[in-house]
Amino acid sequence: MVKVLLIGGRVKAASIGLDRFFGGQTAIELDRTISMLRRHPCEHLRKAFFPRTENDLRHMTSGIGLYRPSLKTDQGMPGNFLPFFIDPGINVTDFRVRSIVRDEGVVIPEAWFEHSPELVSDVQAAFLNFDLSATLEILRQLESRRADKGRMPFMLIRPAMTDSPIVFGTDVVNAVEERVRCIVDQCVKRAQAMETLATGTARPSNLTYLQPDVYVLTDGSITVERINCPDVGFFLADLDAGESRALPPIQKIVRSISDAVADRIVEKMGLKIVLVTRDSVLRLREDVLEIREIACIKSMLQDRDVTVEVISASQVDSIAEGGKLLLLNLDYSLDEVTTLLRRHAMGEVECYPNPYFQLACSQATGMKQVELRCGTRHHKLLLERCRSQPATEAGTIEALRLIDKSLTQCGVEGEVLHVVLETETVPVLRRSLHSWRQLATRAQRPKNENRPIRFRSVPADQGTLLLTSPTGPRLHAFRFMCIA
């Protein structure tokens, strides 16, 4: 049984309000606005892409980068995060709109870089109130590295505050639980089918905790965007808040959540646990959030007298038969998971969660989704229309009309879409031809080519979002914590 912890969680908010992309603009005006934003980025966009500046920033925003911090609920520099609370004494939630009134810059030292306390203090002091020039001057004096993650010596994040707290009552909690359970049930069935096909049998899902991202709108409607099992979040409790006013309320929530989740892990898994992460996290010290998440989980389990070992996915052969593995954020497209899947299939280790459940979660959503299978007429026709390069305004309008016709015929709704390819999710504005061209470019990449395209309709618009800002309503999702 999946239960929402009655503590609260965090809101993941996109970086820029929708006023920059809507407001009665025609399709032509919309692409002109986007073009102007690329050439002359507003303060909010410069902040979202920092430390990219000038030509580097223009190059980044020429592609899909412009949309990522604006039309997805990304955290880190691309967006803000802030707290929400749950009050079991409230039966009917107040769905009035809250406004972001302050955001702050917080730095997280990367694991690979040797920082002095004085350097960390200098960067934090400059970045707290977004003195970007002073922060950039310091960063340019430091080394960087070639890596998939953590190129710079610091990760930058942006906690925020609203004019009044966002508090949910039991009506929202009950609705979230119901919808999360439905998706979890779907994931369990999908996982069982995948595992049976791969191994000839299906093992228990072995759930301990999971984190759904949920759209809660001003009309009270609730949609689960995705199930994260597990993803990160505990690391926030261990950050040095320094002079930040926005971070401590979030840390208080996370510490309470951590205690409840740690108790649940011990209850389900016992007193000897192996944490399994990606090879790159241990070998290359990539992904500082995963590194800090591991440290926090290890610490809270050891406080409960648990013996904890941390290994990478390719090292699972080192674990004795009967070992209990807590799987973190693994990448099942890599060969490094082969050993894990083999030993799981043979019943030699017990995985929490079942790896096939993690795979099922990566494909599940409560949003309305339409899939275009490769090779179908609609799939081919849509990409042809997305790649069009009309020379006139009339040609642009016609190209968008034909794209909209394709989408409508397939049942795709909404002005903002999250388009899921094999390797990435691309945010798209329905009325921006530039946006569709970016999708077509990414759909042609080798790992995405000849694969299905899934359109997910974001169930929100300017009039239904609970969170606003000086640039208008912000797309955002509420990350609840559930134990199972």
In the chain (484 residues long), the average pLDDT of successive 10-residue segments reads 97 93 82 90 92 90 89 87 98 98 96 92 96 95 89 95 98 98 98 97 97 98 97 96 96 98 98 97 94 98 98 98 98 96 98 98 95 91 93 94 94 95 94 94 94 95 95 96 98
Q: Are residues 298 and 149 in the same domain?
A: no
Angstrom CA distances, 359 to 29, 328, 363, stand at 41, 12, 7
Q: Please report the pLDDT score of residue 23 as a whole number.
A: 65
Q: Are residues 237 and 252 in the same domain?
A: yes
Name the one residue in this structure whose structure tokens are 């094999």.
Answer: 422
Secondary structure class of 308 (helix, strand, coil)? strand
Q: Are residues 358 and 443 in the same domain?
A: no
Q: Please report the pLDDT score of residue 147 as a whole number.
A: 87
Q: How many domains does the chain have?
A: 3
Backbone angles phi, psi at 280, to 5 degrees: -65, -30
Q: Are residues 139 and 193 in the same domain?
A: no
pTM > 0.85: yes
Residue type, 469: S
Q: Are residues 145 and 266 in the same domain?
A: no
Which tokens in the block code for residue 84?
């929400």
Q: Are residues 142 and 52 in the same domain?
A: yes
Nearest Cα neighbor of 329 from 271, 279, 273 is 279
Is residue 210 one of the residues assigned to a domain?
no
Q: Are residues 468 and 430 in the same domain?
A: no
Angstrom CA distances, 48 to 18, 124, 272, 479, stand at 15, 17, 42, 21
Straight-line distance from the first to the last Cα atom of the chain, in angstroms, rounded to the nearest whole number: 6
- 167 near 96, Cβ under 8 Å? no
Is residue 441 one of the residues assigned to a domain?
yes
Q: Please report the pLDDT score of residue 22 as a whole number.
A: 78
Is residue 221 one of the residues assigned to a domain?
no
Euclidean distance between CA atoms 433 and 212, whole angstroms: 32
Q: Are residues 393 and 431 in the same domain?
A: yes
Q: Please report the pLDDT score of residue 375 as a whole number.
A: 87
Q: Please report the pLDDT score of residue 75 as a whole number.
A: 76
Buried-exposed string 130-148: b where 16+ CB fall within 10 A, e elsewhere? bebeebeebbeeeeeeeee
Q: Please report the pLDDT score of residue 20 as a whole number.
A: 83
Q: Please report the pLDDT score of residue 24 as a whole number.
A: 66
Mind giving me the DSSP string for 231-274?
---GGGGGS--TT-SSHHHHHHHHHHHHHHHHHHHHHHH-SEEE
Euclidean distance between CA atoms 476 and 38, whole angstroms: 23
Which tokens in the block code for residue 102?
């302050």
Q: Are residues 109 and 144 in the same domain?
A: yes
Q: In what order do the strands lie in the sheet with 416-420?
A: 368-372, 453-457, 416-420, 425-429
Domain containing residue 352: 167-205+227-363
**Where do the DSSP E strands lie in 284-408?**
307-312, 323-327, 349-352, 368-372
Is residue 149 one of the residues assigned to a domain?
yes
Domain boundary among 328, 363, 398: 363
Q: Are residues 38 and 173 in the same domain?
A: no
Q: Are residues 446 and 468 in the same domain?
A: no
